[in-house]
Amino acid sequence: MSNTNCPCGQGDYATCCEPLHLGKTQAQSAEQLMRSRYSAFVKHCIDYIVKTTAVGQQSQLDQAALAQWSTSNQWEKLEIISGNPRIDATHAMVEFKAYYFDGNAKQIHHEVSYFVKHQTAWYFIDPTVEAFPTMKQPCLCGSEKKFKHCCAAFIL
């Protein structure tokens, strides 16, 4: 166990995001998942980024690009701007800014992210993957609803 500040800014890494990264516990909210994903970028835990993305999208992720993004920047801090923990029974929103230095200049990545709860866990809905289900196909989150009745509204 390390005894260092958690990258997400909420205490010791060992009691904050590390138990999530190690698979010992699950994020209890979309905001906690968002924080742990930011910390995972800082700690270069690409496996965690993959497994906390919507289950139907995981195989589409470019892990090399994610690893490159995580290591090519110096991450400074995370700021949660706003959120909606319950858009509906299984969806939530978190707006955040991630501050980093890209080697040349300070940058701010400002994003409104959407998350879906599937069974007991929260997942990030990645709007940047290339392929989505058609509207009538099963949703990418693993729910057995049609895509148009589930996550489509949050990415298209």
Instruction: Enumerate binding residues for Zn ion (CB under 5 A).
Output: 139, 141, 143, 150-151
Smallest gap from Cβ 86 to Zn ion, in A, equals 15
Smallest gap from Cβ 34 to Zn ion, in A, equals 18
At residue 111, φ and ψ (nearest 5 deg) are -140, 145
97 beta partners:
79, 110
Residue 41 or 115: the one with the smaller Cβ distance to Zn ion is: 115
Q: How far apart are CA 142 and CA 75, in angstroms?
A: 32
Smallest gap from Cβ 60 to Zn ion, in A, equals 15
Contacts of 37 (CB under 8 A, 6+ apart): 48, 49, 52, 124
Residue 42 or 150: the one with the smaller Cβ distance to Zn ion is: 150
Q: Residue 101 has which token pair?
A: 């230095």
Residue 94 or 98: the one with the smaller Cβ distance to Zn ion is: 94
Smallest gap from Cβ 92 to Zn ion, in A, equals 12
At residue 100, φ and ψ (nearest 5 deg) are -155, 165
Residue 68 or 137: the one with the smaller Cβ distance to Zn ion is: 137
